[in-house]
Amino acid sequence: EIVMTQSPDTLSVSLGDRASLSCRASQTVTSDLAWYQHKPGQAPRLLIYAASRRAPGVPDRFSGSLSGTDFTLTISSLQSDDFAVYYCQHYNSWPPRITFGGGTKVE
Amino acid sequence: EVLLVESGGRVVQPGGSLRLTCVVSGVSLEQYAVHWVRQVPGRGLEWISLLSWDGGSTYYADSVKGRFTISRDTDNNSLFLQMDNLRADDTALYHCAKANGGIYYYSMDVWGKGTPVTVS
């Protein structure tokens, strides 16, 4: 079973900071990974899919990358609207499984 | 605009059954795969189930396999989650979500706000 581990649990930042959120797979995986932003009381929002493709309407300050088994979501310059919980989600094609990481709260 | 609206969540006793509904507007369910995802209060997201765009394939998380069934009604553009033999750890907010297109169907680009299920 593939486990996706996000770190840190909480990231304390200031407006304008650069933020890097990590999502590490427990074994070698494909680039079938998405990132979501989740704010209290709202539905999650897709930010990134296929590790680095931005979803339509997502600002270009959000970017995704992959190095080995480490996925990273980078927010280049934090805006007030970016304070939220961020989840990574991986897809394993066989057996078909979708796994979310535990989330990183950006505060 | 694509909208997904869930309903059917309520308080149910352990061992009971519940059927959740997700009404989809703005896009045909015959064009996209769809997912159910739940969020336990104070915890993260857990993927529950996936129905392929053609309705021919279904997939489930191990935690619900054999107890939950995903299905759809294309005439009414609605998605369902039949939940049987419910347990306390099924208590959560249940979201339906439209899959991204093509080979990226594992990702979810439009979500509903969720319907709460309490097993107690």
Q: Which backbone phi and psi does A81 adopt, to 5 degrees?
A: -75, -5
Q: Which backbone phi and psi does A49 adopt, to 5 degrees?
A: -135, 165
Check: CB of residue B25 under 8 Å from CB of residue B76: no
What local confidence, expressed as pLDDT, does residue A93 receive? 82
Q: Among candidates B25, B46, B23, B26, which has minimal Cα distance to B36?
A: B46
What local confidence, expressed as pLDDT, does residue A15 receive? 96
Q: What is the mean pLDDT of chain A?
A: 94
Scan for tokens 């509903």, then name that residue. B112
Interface contact flag, B44 A87, Cβ < 8 Å: yes
What local confidence, expressed as pLDDT, does residue B103 receive? 85
CA-nearest residue to A35 within chain B is B107
Interface contact flag, B106 A34, Cβ < 8 Å: yes
Q: What is the mean pLDDT of each run of 10 residues along chain B (120 residues)?
A: 97 98 96 95 91 94 97 96 97 97 90 97
What local confidence, expressed as pLDDT, does residue A94 receive? 77
Interface contact flag, B109 A55, Cβ < 8 Å: yes
Interface contact flag, A50 B111, Cβ < 8 Å: no
Q: What is the mean pLDDT of residues A33-60?
A: 96
How does pLDDT run across A78-105, given as a tens digit for each residue?
Answer: 999 999 999 999 998 877 889 999 999 9
Q: How many CA atoms lie within 13 A of B68 on its CB side?
A: 25
Q: Is the pLDDT of residue A27 over 90?
A: no
Confidence bin at A14 (pLDDT 50/70/90)? very high
In chain B, which residues have their Cβ closer than 8 Å to the Cβ of A91?
106-107
Q: How far is B47 from chain A (nearest CA, A)?
A: 6
For B106, the closest of A32, A44, A101 (CB atoms) is A32
Neighbours of A34 (CB within 10 A): 27
Q: How far is A76 from chain B (nearest CA, A)?
A: 22
Q: What is the mean pLDDT of residues A55-71?
A: 95
Q: How far is A72 from chain B (nearest CA, A)?
A: 17
Top residue of B107, B109, B111, B115 to mutate, by most chain A CBs within 10 Å, is B107
Query: First and final CA of chain B: distance in angstroms?
Result: 37
